[in-house]
Amino acid sequence: MARDAGSRERDHELNLLLRALPSVDELVQRLGDVPHALAVDAARGAIEAHRAALASGAATSVAVDQLEADARARLAEGARPSLRRVLNATGVIVHTNLGRAPLADAAVQAAAAAGRGYSNLEYDLERGERGSRQAHVEALLRELTGAEAALVVNNCAAAVLLAAAALAAGRELVVSRGQLVEIGGSFRVPDVVAQSGARLVEVGTTNRTRLADYERAVGPDTGAVLRAHQSNFRTIGFVEEVEIEELCGLGVPVIDDVGSGALAERVPELTDEPPVPRSVAAGCALVCFSGDKLLGGPQAGLMVGTRAAIERCRKHPLARALRIDKLSLAALEATLKLYRDPVGALRDVPVLRMLTAGEAELNARAQLMCDGLTAQGVDAQVITASAKAGGGALPLLELSGPVCAVDPRGVGLDELARRLREVDPPIVGRVRQGWLLLDPRTLDDDEAMAVVSGVLAVLR
């Protein structure tokens, strides 16, 4: 069937517009002193996008200046780091998707100093010979936990794997059925045991395990008993579990995975977390915990315990594969030093500061945000909501406090959230009953005002 005259005319006009597009080389020349390969990619992308817009009717003319601006925007986007700062207004303190624990200023400075040049990572300056990277934190960990020895690897999952492999490979590892847990990323205790080379022996039931259950399971082929803390959930009601002191009285090595790493003293918010010094004092062979959760440091797996057990871990082939890097090690050392002063740690470790933030401080920051928004005509008010510890820790803890609630003003919550993720730095809040909640607990004053600016920018 012959096409009508109108269709032929539109095709003719489109062909003229497409021919008017500059070549890639012409657009590259307009970009000036830019690495050639990057300029070509940006120019080609801009031209192809404009070509598609002309074909769909979204564009009706060719503007070379606009094409150049698009290409420069693509260059800027390509130069921007993929991993970048985000403003966390969710109220989730240890937000796994947003990088977990923000570091203390001292930890940031220590990591920057270690990365800026060479360091004595594995060099004994006093003796002028090779040293151990563990020396930078082992004494601190012994001091803070009361343990005989310590070892640090790259995360807590690695610490548990190394502990099981070093103490129970080829032998039995006894675990309560109620502790066969799964944490983030489908990391399951039975899978760890299998990879360690140990044979899993389950005792008790999902909700109740008694000392007698362990006593019947322990025998000549028992390598260790593993206790895994229920970090991201709790069983309540008709439940029973064996205290760590009783487990250590069984006469076999005990590996205690306490998860989040509660080292702070006299912090009511941490009551539900097993304190590391208690497990050490009970006589555990190894106690494993995280550096980047409630400890408030970098990603790391901390292992403290008896000298003999730590030495077995240190000599195991997995130890090198799981070792911590120098930047994390520097940040961890700085963080642990803050814990020498319990009062100062509550002030200087961001996770502890957020957990213990007072009503007056939070209300002032929430009101600061609301005042900044309402002054520009945005419907915002201070309401009460609950924040969370996050990071698979303290699942029952509700941190009630004031938040700034924003009406999306007809934009729609999904669209408002999308726009906020596109500002620089991106802003992430949470939603409740049609309102966008901006929680002051996970922001400082400067960040709160940056959030206000971002919300105003996208609503305008």
The answer to whether residues 164 and 309 belong to one domain is: yes
The answer to whether residues 361 and 343 belong to one domain is: no
CA-closest candidate to residue 286, choices 308, 261, 271 = 308
Q: Looking at 307, 324, 348, which one is the last position of a domain? A: 348
In this prediction, residue 64 carries a pLDDT of 87
The answer to whether residues 129 and 32 belong to one domain is: no
Whole-number Å distance between alpha carbons of 205 and 264:
33
In this prediction, residue 433 carries a pLDDT of 87
The number of CA neighbours under 13 Å toward the Cβ of 370 is 21
The answer to whether residues 326 and 381 belong to one domain is: no
Angle between helix 307-315 and 156-168 (nearest 10): 100
Instruction: Tell me which amino acid residue 330 is.
Output: A
In this prediction, residue 1 carries a pLDDT of 47
Sheet with 286-290: strands ordered across? 149-153, 301-305, 286-290, 254-259, 222-228, 172-176, 199-203
Q: Where are the beta strands (DSSP E) in 156-300?
A: 172-176, 182-183, 187-188, 199-203, 222-228, 254-259, 286-290
Whole-number Å distance between alpha carbons of 403 and 350:
19
In a domain, 100, yes or no: no
In this prediction, residue 382 carries a pLDDT of 97
List, for residues 105-137, the tens digit of each pLDDT value: 999 999 999 999 999 999 999 999 999 999 999
Give the domain CATH number at 254: 3.40.640.10
Residue range of the domain that includes 390:
87-95+356-459
pTM of the model: 0.89
Cα–Cα distances (Å) from 364 to 247, 361, 368, in that order, read 48, 5, 6
Question: Is the bond preceding residue 268 a cis peptide, omega within 30 degrees?
Answer: no
The token pair at 25 is 């080389």
The answer to whether residues 203 and 332 belong to one domain is: yes
Q: Looking at 327, 348, 369, which one is the last position of a domain? A: 348
Whole-number Å distance between alpha carbons of 84 and 427:
12
List, for residues 30-57, the tens digit of each pLDDT value: 998 889 899 899 999 999 998 898 888 8
Which residues of the chain have a pLDDT value below 50? 1
In this prediction, residue 3 carries a pLDDT of 57
In this prediction, residue 185 carries a pLDDT of 61
> Could you give phi then psi for residue 404, rounded to 5 degrees?
-95, 115
The answer to whether residues 109 and 62 belong to one domain is: no
In a domain, 178, yes or no: yes
The answer to whether residues 169 and 151 belong to one domain is: yes
The answer to whether residues 43 and 75 belong to one domain is: yes
In this prediction, residue 460 carries a pLDDT of 79
In this prediction, residue 186 carries a pLDDT of 66
> Could you give phi then psi for residue 99, rounded to 5 degrees?
95, 10
Cα–Cα distances (Å) from 191 to 152, 158, 300, 390, in that order, read 22, 12, 20, 24
Q: Looking at 317, 348, 379, which one is the last position of a domain? A: 348
Q: Count how many domains the chain has.
A: 3
In a domain, 250, yes or no: yes
